[in-house]
Amino acid sequence: MVYSVKTFNNINQVGLKELGNHFQVDGDLADNPDAYILRSQNLHGTTFPDNLKAIARAGAGTNNIPIDEATAAGIVVFNTPGANANAVKEAVLASLLMSARDYIAANKWVNTLSGDDVPKQVEAGKKQFAGSEISGKTLGVIGLGAIGGRIANYAQRLGMNVMGYDPYVSIETAWNISHHVKRVDDVKEIFANADYITVHVPLTDETRHTFNSEAFALMPKGTVIINFARGELVDNAALFDAIETGVVKRYITDFGTEELLNKDKITVFPHVGGSTAEAELNCAIMAGKTIRQFMETGEITNSVNFPNVHQALTAPYRITLINKNVPNIVARISTAVSNLGINIDNIINRSKGEYAYTLLDLDETDKAKIDDLVATFEASDNIVRVRLITKK
């Protein structure tokens, strides 16, 4: 069995090797591939090829992919959470240090000097760039996931008092967060007490404008805000007022819009938080492994539109279904199997919203019977995708 993968955006070749020998990448089957691997390619407004079963985004955000349309078409969408977390962590730590000392302005100023007495001019003018130290200051981290959790741990090693807020933190992530990080139950505690605040949450209706006029009203003068998550987490009009009144000393962000550029108290980077060679490689490796696992075993890891499903394949055949999450669907699937006199070795059905993923391991070696069952499922209105996987 050869699976076909179409790639976009120059996916790292070393990562693509993770696919192994049963995959053809960007070959003659790529017009109707089994899977896409991409980074920022915008799929909104495009048509999915009939054969497409999986899309892997080598990165964290998936807003370039129409998730609801993919789900309805029976396509599992994956991302690579945490693969670029270390890169973003380092960018945020650099920003934290930079916001305490105005290195950029200091460097700009020193480059304006000339003449034999530059050292003298330096000594006379350097006072304007005296900064402060981050050690002993309080950092508030909003969102303690892959990136926020790492930053919280490192910041406390740099001598900062760290407060973290994340009402939805996963158990796995929580285990990795230092007990020195103080967990708070109300984000207002961070707004009211932190000298520096860094945000690491996804953009959702709940998180949009996390930094609004009510939030700024709670902050002491001189607060530094670092935003390497998404621009829309900050209400820019409220931010400008907070800068004007001295509440916000500096805003550092990875997301530029015209109104933020060339402002004295604002530092904008061109979305480079996750842009390192190591992160790009990690993302490609994770995307390659995820697609290989899904295509070869039907197991799901790190999908944004279907739940994780893991089960070792020991039976001769496995059928995977993407089905509408309607009443009695599992009973109807089981009946279809027993009507053909086939034994179920194992069945897993996990739903997410209006759709579910069913993994059906069959204790049956008669391929003709299995083909009949596949045909029955394909004819069902409630099933949008049927795949047959044979044990190697």
Cβ 270 to ligand NAD shortest distance, Å: 10
Active-site residue (options: 206, 214, 244, 259): 259
Given the residues 230, 250, 292, 318, the one annotated as active site: 230
Q: CB of residue 180 vs ligand NAD: minimum separation in angstroms?
A: 18
CB of 272 to ligand NAD, least distance (A): 7
H or E segment to which residue 4 belongs: strand 3-7
* 252 in Cβ contact with 223 (< 8 Å): no
* Contact in structure between 34 and 292 (CB atoms under 8 Å): no
HEC assignment per residue over 21-60: CCEEECCCCCCCCCEEEECCCCCCCCCCCCCCCEEEECCC
Query: Sheet harboring 138-142: ordered strands across?
Result: 182-183, 161-165, 138-142, 196-199, 223-227, 248-253, 266-268
Q: How many helices (H) and strands (E) does the chain have?
A: 13, 16
Task: Count CA within 13 A, CB hemisphere, residue 326.
Answer: 11
Q: Select 168 or 338, whichever has its Cβ closest to ligand NAD.
A: 168
Name the β-bridge partners of 226. 198, 252
Site residues (vs ligand NAD, CB under 6 A): 60-61, 81-82, 84-85, 88, 142-148, 165-169, 173, 200-202, 206-207, 228-230, 254, 271, 273-274
If the CB atoms of residues 30 and 97 are measured against ligand NAD, the closer one turns out to be: 97
Tokens of 343: 């034994």
Cβ-contact 294, 313 below 8 angstroms: no
Active site residue 230: yes
Q: Find the residue with minimal CB distance to ligand NAD.
A: 145
Closest CA to 57 of 279, 286, 231: 286
User: Closest distance between ligand NAD and the C-beta of residue 347, in Å?
Assistant: 30
User: Nearer Cβ to ligand NAD, position 234 or 383?
Assistant: 234
C-alpha to C-alpha distance for 38 and 330, rounded to whole angstroms: 34
Q: Smallest gap, in angstroms, from Cβ of residue 168 to ligand NAD?
A: 3
Question: Which residue is it, tokens 């910041």?
Answer: 155
Pairing of strands 343-352, 355-363: antiparallel
Nearest to 160 by CA among 178, 186, 138, 187: 138
Please give the Cα distance from 261 to 258 (Å, whole number).
5
Q: Which amino acid is at 186?
A: D
Min separation Cβ 301 and ligand NAD, Å? 14
Closer residue to ligand NAD (CB): 85 or 359: 85
CB of 37 or CB of 229, closer to ligand NAD? 229
Catalytically annotated residue among 101, 183, 209, 271? 271
β-partners of residue 224 are: 196, 250
User: Residue 99 in contact with residue 160, Cβ under 8 Å?
Assistant: no
Q: Considering beta carbons, is residue 49 or 256 the nearer one to ligand NAD?
A: 256
Q: Is 200 a catalytic residue?
A: no
| Closer residue to ligand NAD (CB): 206 or 354 | 206
Least distance CB 22 / ligand NAD (angstroms): 30
Rounded Cα gap, residues 331 and 117, in angstroms = 87
Kindly state the tokens that stand for 36: 């896409």
189 is catalytic: no
What amino acid positions are annotated as catalytic residues?
Answer: 230, 259, 271
